[in-house]
A and B are shown apart, each in its own frame.
Chain A
Amino acid sequence: AQSVTQPDIHITVSEGASLELRCNYSYGATPYLFWYVQSPGQGLQLLLKYFSGDTLVQGIKGFEAEFKRSQSSFNLRKPSVHWSDAAEYFCAVGVNDYKLSFGAGTTVTVRA
């Protein structure tokens, strides 16, 4: 069965510093991969997604992610973090139907 692992439960980063969130998946075929962000009291918002093609995917809010098949990873990055990026981030993998399997999430705290 497919699974998603986000090794980091909580990350604290200074405003203006770079951010990288790790995501590893277990899936037999080429997966559909997603990153979502959840701010307090709000629904999940799609940051970016990978289906095929260029393994470096650009998303909204200045985020990007790179699919590395050899490492079964889909890490999320942002070169310079803003205070508004403080939120919960979820990596998800899709299977050959409608289902998304989510990781446990990584909480990002941004300090001034």
Chain B
Amino acid sequence: GAVVSQHPSWVICKSGTSVKIECRSLDFQATTMFWYRQFPKQSLMLMATSNEGSKATYEQGVEKDKFLINHASLTLSTLTVTSAHPEDSSFYICSASETSGGVQETQYFGPGTRLLVL
């Protein structure tokens, strides 16, 4: 099946620094990529949706200037947490879809990146 990777798998950083997380589709072209955030013992919350070559669409309550998303190619999307603070500590998961045909298209999920901001 389709494989999605994330790098790094975990990162620890100091408060105020920026962290970039990469999401790659390894064996398919991802027209659409999604970024989720998961708190311990809670469900995944969609942060934003991005299509290759266009600006990301952010969910209500997600600061687009804090969580910068770039989907520059059909196999790579990046999430940059700018000026990270301890409350940004979380598990970030990306997913990718081969088409833009809607929710009936399967999303393939990456293994997630655990961010700890000290």
Interfacial residues, chain A to chain B (CB-CB below 8 A): 4, 9, 32, 36, 41-46, 49, 51, 90, 94-105
Q: B75 at the A/B interface (Cβ < 8 Å)?
A: no
Contact pattern, B 94-118, Cβ under 8 Å of A = 1, otherwise 0: 0101001011101111111000000
Q: B43 at the A/B interface (Cβ < 8 Å)?
A: yes
Q: Quick one: which of B6, B93, B106 contacts A46, CB cutoff 8 A? A: B106
Alpha-carbon gap, A98 to B42, bound state (A): 21
Could you show 17 A-B contacts with beta carbons less than 8 Å apart?
A41-B111, A43-B95, A43-B109, A44-B93, A46-B106, A51-B104, A90-B43, A94-B104, A95-B103, A96-B103, A98-B34, A98-B49, A98-B103, A100-B103, A102-B45, A105-B41, A105-B42
CB <8 Å contact, B43 and A43: no
Interface contact tally, CB-CB below 8 A = 61
Alpha-carbon gap, A45 to B110, bound state (A): 9
In the complex formed, the residue of B with least CB distance to A45 is B109
CB <8 Å contact, A49 and B49: no
Interfacial residues, chain B to chain A (CB-CB below 8 A): 4, 6, 9, 32, 34, 41-46, 49, 93, 95, 97, 100, 102-104, 106-112
Quote the shortest CB–CB distance from B5 to chain A (angstroms): 9
Residues of A within 8 A of B109 (CB): 36, 43-45
Contact A100:B46 (CB < 8 A) given known A45-B109, A51-B104, A94-B104:
yes
Contact A43:B110 (CB < 8 A) given known A98-B97, A99-B46, A99-B49:
yes
Residues of A within 8 A of B95 (CB): 43-44
Residues of A within 8 A of B9 (CB): 41
Contact A43:B93 (CB < 8 A) given known A90-B44, A98-B32, A99-B49:
yes
CB <8 Å contact, A96 and B102: yes
